[in-house]
């Protein structure tokens, strides 16, 4: 990648050499990687190059935050067809730059290569700042399940785009440019979160990972699943009602909100809203229920969608 990206204190040596040098003050580095493939994860007729740049950063740094870490560095592999306009690549770079600024990290380097399919590979790094990582296997019966971020809007935006409906701008924007609550990850770690993850495949699907890793079950309270007005309006335009809005909240995916479990009695800031409780799995297995019943929808399956 080019050296036009701004640096940060964490990136000691950025783009331009054979490899980057990124500080690891904690002595440990949180690392994650993800792919965006045109036609699978984004469409150029739906999203601008800047949108895709924002998304590439957001979905990776959200995973860093979900471990309770602070985003630091980013490596980007950019594979593009020969006829991709240079202007598209430049606008993509600006989106990456702006989302890095929002997250607090910086691009450390990357690579470019020709490819028949526009593909973007991102590796993100983070700093735990002396804290233990918040894993998926620490939830215990009695814990509170809470979330921060906007559930369902991205799924609604995707549905609107598929139908060619110019719906609520909030939903379209959330699909094109997710807005992860980066600072809430380290915050949750400081508050004593027992488990946490990024909601990318749907709330039920992702909380299922916590259940299986922790050997517990989760019951979501239907009364606490309150759709935002923009989500309700989008669903109305799509011909649905409140029940479909709740389905999008629990199974829509690509929210990049953070869901976490906290010990009962933890005083949570207002932006962490309670959604349910961790319960004993008993003989029913490590599953997620809604009001004690199996949900109608579970979420995104990358190999069957």
Over the stretch 189-237, which tens digit does the pLDDT of each residue have?
999 999 999 999 999 999 999 999 999 999 999 999 999 999 999 999 9
194/177 Cα distance (integer angstroms): 29
Residues of the chain with CATH 3.30.1330.10: 11-127
Q: Which helix (H) or strand (E) holds 94?
A: helix 86-103
Binding site annotation covers 274? no
- According to the model, what pLDDT value does residue 6 have? 58
Binding site annotation covers 166? no
Burial 243-277 (b: 16+ CB within 10 A, else e): ebbbbbbbbbbbbbbbbbbbeeebebeeebeebbb
Binding site annotation covers 33? yes
Write down the CATH number for the domain with range 11-127: 3.30.1330.10
Residues of the chain with CATH 3.90.650.10: 144-290
Binding site annotation covers 194? no
Reply yes or no on domain 144-290 having CATH 3.20.20.70: no
DSSP state of 6: -
- According to the model, what pLDDT value does residue 1 have? 43
Q: pLDDT band for 2, please (50, 70, 90 cuts).
A: very low
Binding site annotation covers 88? no
Binding site annotation covers 136? yes
220/250 Cα distance (integer angstroms): 9
Binding site annotation covers 18? yes
Binding site annotation covers 287? no
DSSP state of 38: B
Q: What is the pLDDT of residues 237-275, one digit of tens each?
A: 999 999 999 999 999 989 999 999 999 999 999 999 999
Rounded alpha-carbon distances, angstroms, from residue 40 to 50, 76, 84, 164: 18, 18, 17, 18
Binding site annotation covers 198? yes
Q: What is the pLDDT of residues 21-66, one digit of tens each?
A: 999 989 999 999 999 999 999 999 999 999 999 999 999 999 999 9
Phi/psi for 254 (5° steps) reads: 60, 30
Half-sphere exposure for 294 (CA within 13 Å, toward CB): 7
CA dihedral 19, 23, 24, 26 (to 10 degrees): 180
């Amino acid at each position: 990648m080019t050296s036009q990206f701004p640096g940060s204190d964490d990136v000691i040596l950025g783009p331009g050499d054979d490899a980057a040098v990124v500080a690891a003050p904690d002595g440990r580095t949180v690392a994650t990687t993800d792919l965006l493939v045109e036609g699978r994860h984004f469409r150029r007729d739906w999203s601008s190059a800047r949108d895709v740049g924002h998304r590439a950063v957001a979905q990776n740094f959200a995973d860093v935050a979900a471990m309770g870490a602070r985003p630091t560095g980013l490596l980007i592999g950019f594979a593009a067809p020969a006829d991709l306009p240079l202007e598209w690549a430049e606008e993509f770079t600006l989106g990456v730059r702006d989302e890095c600024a929002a997250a607090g990290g910086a691009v450390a380097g990357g690579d470019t290569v020709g490819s028949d399919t526009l593909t973007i590979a991102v590796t993100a790094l983070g700093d735990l700042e002396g804290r233990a990582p918040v894993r998926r296997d620490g939830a215990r019966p009695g814990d509170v399940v809470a979330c921060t971020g906007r559930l369902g809007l991205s799924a609604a935006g995707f549905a609107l785009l598929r139908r060619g409906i110019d719906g609520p701008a909030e939903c379209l924007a959330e699909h094109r440019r997710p807005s992860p609550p980066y600072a809430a990850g380290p915050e949750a770690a400081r508050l004593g979160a027992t488990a946490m993850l990024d909601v990318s495949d749907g709330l039920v699907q992702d909380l299922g990972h916590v259940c299986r890793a922790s050997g517990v079950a989760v019951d979501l309270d239907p009364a606490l699943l309150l759709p935002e007005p923009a989500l309700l309006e989008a669903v109305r335009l799509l011909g649905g009602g409140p029940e479909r809005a709740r389905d999008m909240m629990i199974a829509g995916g690509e929210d990049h909100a953070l869901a976490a479990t906290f010990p009962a009695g933890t005083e949570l800031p207002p932006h962490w809203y309670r959604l349910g409780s961790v319960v004993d799995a008993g003989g029913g297995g490590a599953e997620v229920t809604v009001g004690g019943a199996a949900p109608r929808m579970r979420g995104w399956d990358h190999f069957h969608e």
